[in-house]
Amino acid sequence: MTKLSVNINKIATIRNARGGDIPNLVETAINCQKFGADGITVHPRPDERHITKKDVFDIKPIIKTEFNIEGYPSSDFIKMVLKVRPEQVTLVPDGPDVITSCAGWDTIKFKDYLKEIISVFKADGIRTSIFIDPKIEMIEGAKICGTDRVELYTEEYASNYFLNKVKAIQPYVLAAKKAIELGVGINAGHDLSLENLDFFAKNIPNLKEVSIGHALISDAIYLGLENTIQMYKRLL
């Protein structure tokens, strides 16, 4: 079964809007796992507009499933990940001024750069994943970089799902098949939701994990966190 990692950035956004410690990030992470999540994802950014560095260290001890830390591999980010030692680190190409992830890595152009960073994490026993667009050449480049997995950037699929879901998913199917051929694990994330997740999961072979935050937390406002997590799990 494909694992569900819940991204709790949006909980931190709500907390930071008011200050203080409500809603509490550690309690949220505990409950997400209690309610069936297979992992917790956080994406700290340099300006700490949602997840802070303190959050990352506070959450780590209560993880009973898997901890996935996403981020741009700046020197500070690398140092933090090596101290926390999560089960997985996902490298994204976002600059500090980007609101949310909007593109995958060019694994050919940045091959040497990524290869060096990935080797550092893998030497410390941390599984690596690279955030990429669903393109065959990017999968091939990721393999050369030495990553364990790729995370397919699914915004384009989500945007076109209601227009033509069969056409929308084709690049992802082809990318997944190439990843399988090359022995690279497959994760996916960005704008996956209760509406489009089922079709995606059923059509992407060997899909190991999806990371979902914005849609899931938004659904939880109406449906409750436990119920929402279980609804997403049933789709997987």
Q: Give me the chain's average pLDDT, please.
A: 95
pLDDT of the residue at 84 = 98
Position 49 scores a pLDDT of 87
Q: What is the pLDDT of residue 102?
A: 61
Q: What is the per-residue pLDDT across 193-213, written as a single tens digit (0 to 9) for each?
A: 999 999 999 999 999 999 999
Which CATH number belongs to the domain containing residue 215 in this structure? 3.20.20.70
What pLDDT, on the 0 to 100 scale, is given for residue 103? 74
The percent of residues above 90 in pLDDT, for the chain, comes to 92
Total domain count, the chain: 1
Question: Which tokens sit at 145?
Answer: 């970089």
DSSP 164-227: HHHHHHHHHHHHHHHHHHHT-EEEEESS--TTTHHHHHHHSTTEEEEEE-HHHHHHHHHH-HHH
pLDDT digits (tens, 9 = 90+) for 102-135: 679 999 999 999 999 999 999 999 999 999 999 9
Question: What residues does 207 pair with on adjacent strands?
Answer: 186
Average pLDDT, integer, range 55-59: 98
Q: Mean pLDDT over residues 22-26, rounded?
A: 97
Q: What is the pLDDT of residue 126?
A: 98
pLDDT for the residue 85? 98
Catalogue the active-site residues: 43, 70, 190
Predicted pLDDT at 97: 56
Question: Residue 152 is which amino acid?
Answer: L
- Residue range 34-43: mean pLDDT, rounded: 98
- Which range marks the domain in which residue 111 is found? 3-235
Minimum mean pLDDT range among 16-20, 28-32, 78-82, 85-89: 16-20
